[in-house]
Amino acid sequence: MTDSEKEIRHSESRSLGANGVSVGINNISKSYGKIPVLKSIRLNIAPGEFLTMLGPSGSGKTTLLMVIAGFVRPDNGSLEIGNVEAIRLPPHKRNVGMVFQSYALFPHMDVFSNVAFPLSIRRVANEETRRRVEVALAQVRLSGYAQRRIDQLSGGQRQRVALARAVVFGPRILLMDEPLSALDKKLREEMQIEIRQIHQDLGMTTIYVTHDQREALTMSDRIAVMDQGTIVQVDTPSALYRMPQNRFVAEFVGESTLLPVSVCQRGSDVSFAGQRLKIAKHNITKPSPHSTLLIRPEHVRIARRVTGEGGTDTNCFAGTVSHKLFQGDQLLLRVTLAGGQDVLVREAATHAAAGNSLEVGEKVSLLLDREDSILVPGSGL
Ligand code: ADP
Ligand code: MG
């Protein structure tokens, strides 16, 4: 970025984006025919927050975004934007900017005309339009590209044009529906940082949709996980990863091994395959007789078979190495327990890593600290 771009970015950004407004979603439901797509969705989003809707394909993310934008009318419920009831407002009165996966730009027109489009609809004067387009292009680091045609730009540049067009009229809310899914991995990761930076500069409330859990963990202030038309958990990225409230979240966010356990005496006595487990109290959300032990691959230490139970603060599981993969920076091992359950283990691939010297077929012990032993309600499958 040049110095003048930086200057524009900092001096103009606040007036361009204004500050974000709150969004209140109350009991929003929507069915298509007899099929419910959104089921009593409730969610409050704070002014200026970066909130991500994360869920598999078909879980209702786009529909919810379209309800907020005003393109889909829900069957029930209310929507407040900046504490004003918005359900009857047409899209252009909601002051919402949008970016989609497919850029939806005019390919035969130049960058300037694409970014200026929302201003021409709003009948903004020419001089003011030129000024605002210049600011918006600086925001997305495309100063000097105004005369380029869209079909002369790379995928990443096109997505930046789409972003500039979404913010050029100073919306209070920015909605983004899988904006990076058409880009390759490296570019996607660069754009994730860039979008976060633009969000910080402009301060508008951002609702971001993705099915990529890693992207959600990287970018968000909070994540709302969706499954089949409901929000199953809303939390910060670290809380969501650390303490999933159910099996769906445990499996969808991050890598995991889930072991069925039996729980008696209101959660104080948890056992797996006849062995009593040590679990930190704060790692038990909801004591339930049907629960699952969540093991993250980076929490397990692997050792040549030791006897005993691993000390007072550590759980110890006996097993056999059934798979070993070298992945450059990491070793990925699969260890099969006596009962047939597979546990994934990740180790940094240092010279000293225990997994380095282990071969498939060797008997090992897996060590898991009580602080890293997490109990998730529901036995599931
Ligand atoms: P996501 O964005 O999470 O992939 P969508 O909101 O696009 O999910 O879709 C949720 C469900 O609603 C899907 O089963 C989809 O087929 C259905 N759906 C979405 N839009 C329509 C529509 N206009 N008519 C009928 N069914 C729809
Ligand atoms: Mg979608």
Token pair recorded at residue 112: 């300037």
Total domain count for the chain? 2
Q: Which residues pair with 76 in a beta bridge?
A: 29
* pLDDT of 98 strictly over 70: yes
| Same domain, residue pair 310 and 197 | no
Average pLDDT, the chain: 90
What integer pLDDT is reported at residue 332 of this predicted model? 94
* pLDDT of 338 strictly over 60: yes
| Same domain, residue pair 210 and 300 | no
Closest approach atom of ligand 1 to CA 66? 6
The residue from 183, 208, 242 where one domain ends is 242
| Same domain, residue pair 41 and 124 | yes
* Neighbour-count burial for 212-238, b at 16+ CB within 10 Å, e otherwise: bbebbbebbebbbbbbebbbbbbbebe
**CA pair distance 205, 138, nearest whole angstrom:** 20
Residue 40 near residue 226, CB atoms below 8 Å: no
Confidence label for 107 from pLDDT (cuts 50, 70 and 90): confident
pLDDT tens for 292-333 read 999 999 999 998 876 655 678 999 999 999 999 999 999 999
For residue 15, is it within any domain? yes
| Residue in 31, 37, 38 to alter for ligand 1 test, most ligand atoms within 8 A of Cβ | 37
Helix, strand, coil distribution of the chain in percent, nearest 5: 30, 35, 35
| Same domain, residue pair 98 and 187 | yes
Residue 37 near residue 31, CB atoms below 8 Å: yes
Expressed in angstroms and rounded, the spacing between residue 54 Cα and the centre of ligand 1 is: 15
What integer pLDDT is reported at residue 9 of this predicted model? 52
pLDDT tens for 8-61 read 555 454 444 457 899 999 999 999 999 999 999 999 999 999 999 999 999 999
Percentage with pLDDT > 90 across the chain: 72
Closest approach atom of ligand 1 to CA 33? 25
With both helix axes pointing from N to C terminus, report the angle between 126-139 and 185-202 in degrees, rounded to the nearest 10.
Answer: 120
Measured in whole angstroms, how far is the alpha carbon of residue 236 from the centre of its chain? Answer: 10
Residue ranges of the alpha helices (H) in the chain?
Answer: 3-17, 61-69, 111-121, 126-139, 155-167, 185-202, 213-219, 237-242, 247-252
pLDDT tens for 265-274 read 665 688 998 8
CATH of the domain at 352: 2.40.50.140
What integer pLDDT is reported at residue 354 of this predicted model? 83
Highest mean predicted confidence (pLDDT) among 132-136, 184-188, 267-271: 132-136
What integer pLDDT is reported at residue 14 of this predicted model? 45
For residue 345, is it within any domain? yes
For residue 250, is it within any domain? no
Please tell me the pTM assigned to this model: 0.90
| Same domain, residue pair 199 and 313 | no
What integer pLDDT is reported at residue 13 of this predicted model? 46
Mean of pLDDT values over 192-208? 93
Which ligand gives the minimal distance to the CA of 100? 2
| Same domain, residue pair 233 and 259 | no
| Same domain, residue pair 212 and 322 | no
Mean of pLDDT values over 71-77? 96
| Same domain, residue pair 216 and 265 | no
Expressed in angstroms and rounded, the spacing between residue 41 Cα and the centre of ligand 1 is: 15
Mean of pLDDT values over 108-113? 94
Expressed in angstroms and rounded, the spacing between residue 39 Cα and the centre of ligand 1 is: 13
What integer pLDDT is reported at residue 378 of this predicted model? 80
For residue 175, is it within any domain? yes
Domain that holds residue 217: 3-242
Strands of the 314-326 sheet, one edge to the other: 301-304, 363-369, 314-326, 330-337, 342-348
Instruction: For ligand 1, say whether the CB of 114 is within 6 Å of any of its atoms.
Output: no
What integer pLDDT is reported at residue 263 of this predicted model? 85
| Same domain, residue pair 235 and 278 | no
* Neighbour-count burial for 41-59, b at 16+ CB within 10 Å, e otherwise: bebebeebbbbbbbbeeeb
Confidence label for 100 from pLDDT (cuts 50, 70 and 90): confident
What integer pLDDT is reported at residue 6 of this predicted model? 54
The owner of tokens 């890293």 is: 372
| Same domain, residue pair 73 and 139 | yes
The residue from 242, 276, 298 where one domain ends is 242
With both helix axes pointing from N to C terminus, report the angle between 155-167 and 126-139 in degrees, rounded to the nearest 10.
Answer: 130
CATH of the domain at 12: 3.40.50.300
What integer pLDDT is reported at residue 308 of this predicted model? 59
| Residue 33: burial class (beta carbons within 10 Å; 0-12, 13-18, 19+) | exposed
- Beta strands per DSSP E along 228-361: 230-235, 257-264, 269-272, 275-276, 290-295, 301-304, 314-326, 330-337, 342-348
For residue 249, is it within any domain? no
| Same domain, residue pair 209 and 271 | no
Percentage with pLDDT > 70 across the chain: 92
Expressed in angstroms and rounded, the spacing between residue 192 Cα and the centre of ligand 1 is: 25
